[in-house]
Amino acid sequence: MLAQPETSRFEAKRVSGKMVGKALETLCAFANTSGGNLALGFEDLAKAKGADRLYGLAENPEAVDELRRKALTHLLPAVDGLRWVRVACQLRDGTDGHVLLLIVPQSPKVHSILDDGTWTRLDASNREMSASEITELSYRRGVISAESEPVAVPFELLETDTWQRFATNRGFLTGDLPDRLFRIGLAKRVGGELQPVRAAVLLFAYEPGGLLAAQQTRADVRVFHYRGNRIEPGAVPNLLKAPKTISGPLPVQIAQASAYVLDELAAGLTLAASGFKTVHRYPERVIKEAITNALIHRDYRLNRDVQIGIFDNRIEVLSPGLFPGTITPANVSRAGSFARNPLIARNLREFPEPPNVDAGEGVRMMFAEMRAANLYPPLYGENRDTAQPSVTVTLRNEERPPIWEQVSDWIDRNGALANSDLCQIAGLDTLKASKMLKRWVEQGVLLRDDAGGKRHTVYKKPNPDSDLGADASLSLPLDNGQEKQENSL
């Protein structure tokens, strides 16, 4: 901790009366950003070096107690999962004492300080957020969702065959359409009159994208079938056929998009380079789940359609919006379910033959099915640097070599992989290992890192688990003594 500079995920402070307010801001900012570690009992790195920084908690134990109280009462809502870890050490004056490590997780909520605003974390400091930034963060975290916003769409445009199937399956719904939708949360009162919410339009309207155009929202699926393994720039795109647009109520879109993609794959594809045909081996359940998730969990504020790209060697499903809550590309396979659009998810399961059972196991099923088919696992990525941010899941139609499991496990346990590591794992010579690594980079399952120079090139997974980020070394397993100290606080 003494050697660690202040970063977006680490800050150190001496304990004093003035410390409490600043520490609360840091705690709030960490929770609203990516989590982090706040070390208390340390002089600023610019004012002292090494052990001379260790002032400890005894300098002002009342301030530490006040911070603990206010962490429970002044953060709205309270931050779950805080860990207060006392660490024994020798202080700058040679006496025995303690410092305190406050471990703050990234939160799925948006937090403010009572009478002191809402804060976000920068590279090494905190900044108060504007109202628009708070709203954006609330949407991104899934605290609020565009699906629940009322829209000026006539109710008669929702009385479709899809609505009739839904209402019949629910059975108990009686009365006129506006009242029925209001009773299940799909309509709200605006100025004394009922209006459907966006979720109702998406679930039942024949052309939801057209009806929601005034809100700058697209709501269709676009399928692009490419020749080859990449999108080739140029005046004429390398498409096998004209793009397919699929519109309609969400359950219809899910069924039709899944059927269209499966029909395209069933015909087989001619490889552009060789002229031979390839057979796609994706499990049908995985394709349906990827499309279903893209439509259910997308951000319906964004003016972009769900896009499906079919290539010779993979399928890519793009869903507008970033991951909600604390889900990341690295933890999506084990994080469980987090519904950005709970109204849509809850009502879709009430259809006859629902496209989703809403059990929160769909992504885990995808990983298990791809493994059972001896294919590479689904590869998730966030596209943050585009005009409309999105999540992409890539399904590769390529058999996973047996060595990949060992390499994947090695990287999970040890970090970046070098050519020499692969030689040792697989019993290969340098040239064969280099060719294998190059192939994995081309497939997108590994990324090449030349930051240390060509002699020190290493390879990483595209989405390494960054729950602790640069400060992972600060969250070591506690020994028994530390565990007892933590529990006693």
Residue 238 DSSP class: -
Q: Could you tell me if 348 and 290 lie in one domain?
A: yes
pLDDT, residue 17, reads 78
pLDDT, residue 72, reads 94
CB 70 within 8 A of CB 10: no
* pLDDT above 50: residue 26: yes
Order of strands across the sheet that contains 306-310: 244-246, 221-225, 306-310, 314-320, 390-396, 379-383
CA–CA distance, 412 with 460 (Å, rounded to integer): 9
Q: Identify the domain containing residue 167 by its residue range.
A: 146-215
Q: Could you tell me if 333 and 242 lie in one domain?
A: yes
The per-residue pLDDT for range 286-299, each reduced to its tens digit, is 999 999 999 999 99
The per-residue pLDDT for range 89-107, each reduced to its tens digit, is 999 999 999 999 999 999 9
Average confidence score pLDDT of the chain:
86
Q: Could you tell me if 43 and 96 lie in one domain?
A: yes
Question: Is residue 32 assigned to a domain?
Answer: yes
Q: Could you tell me if 251 and 369 lie in one domain?
A: yes
Could you tell me the two tokens for 170?
């629910």
Question: Is residue 140 assigned to a domain?
Answer: no
The per-residue pLDDT for range 35-49, each reduced to its tens digit, is 999 999 999 988 999
* Number of domains forming the structure of the chain: 4
Question: Is residue 4 assigned to a domain?
Answer: no
- CATH number where 45 lies: 3.30.950.30
- CATH number where 296 lies: 3.30.565.60
Question: Is residue 265 assigned to a domain?
Answer: yes
Choosing from 215, 234, 266, the residue where a domain stops is 215
- CATH number where 441 lies: 1.10.10.10
CA–CA distance, 153 with 158 (Å, rounded to integer): 9
The per-residue pLDDT for range 191-201, each reduced to its tens digit, is 989 999 999 99
DSSP labels for 278-331?
Answer: E-----HHHHHHHHHHHHHSS-TTSS--EEEEE-SSEEEEEEESPPPTT--TTT
Q: Could you tell me if 246 and 299 lie in one domain?
A: yes
CA–CA distance, 221 with 296 (Å, rounded to integer): 12
Question: Is residue 362 assigned to a domain?
Answer: yes
* pLDDT above 60: residue 469: no
Question: Is residue 5 assigned to a domain?
Answer: no
Q: Could you tell me if 453 and 308 lie in one domain?
A: no
Residue 103 amino acid letter: I
Q: Could you tell me if 249 and 390 lie in one domain?
A: yes
| Residue from 232, 222, 242 nearest 319 by CA | 222
Looking at 188-192, 211-215, 470-474, which range is the least confident one?
Answer: 470-474
Q: Could you tell me if 270 and 368 lie in one domain?
A: yes
CA–CA distance, 375 with 398 (Å, rounded to integer): 6
CB 360 within 8 A of CB 332: no
CA–CA distance, 257 with 289 (Å, rounded to integer): 11
CB 73 within 8 A of CB 44: no
Choosing from 340, 364, 396, the residue where a domain stops is 396
Which strand (E) or helix (H) includes residue 244? strand 244-246
Q: Could you tell me if 298 and 391 lie in one domain?
A: yes
| Residue from 82, 63, 73 nearest 114 by CA | 73
CA–CA distance, 167 with 173 (Å, rounded to integer): 6
Could you tell me the two tokens for 335?
């994080």
Q: Could you tell me if 443 and 341 lie in one domain?
A: no
pLDDT tier, 357 (very low <50, low <70, confident <90, very high otherwise) = low
Choosing from 78, 104, 134, the residue where a domain stops is 134
Q: Could you tell me if 341 and 376 lie in one domain?
A: yes
pLDDT tier, 21 (very low <50, low <70, confident <90, very high otherwise) = very high
Distances in whole angstroms, Cα of residue 281 to Cα of each of 109, 260, 439: 40, 16, 20
pLDDT tier, 486 (very low <50, low <70, confident <90, very high otherwise) = very low
Question: Is residue 43 assigned to a domain?
Answer: yes
Global pTM reads 0.79
Looking at 67-81, 107-121, 275-289, 363-377, which range is the least confident one?
Answer: 275-289
Q: Could you tell me if 204 and 247 lie in one domain?
A: no
| Residue from 316, 306, 350, 302 nearest 145 by CA | 302
Dihedral-angle region of residue 118 (phi above 0 means left; psi in -120 to 50 means alpha; beta otherwise): beta
Question: Is residue 476 assigned to a domain?
Answer: no
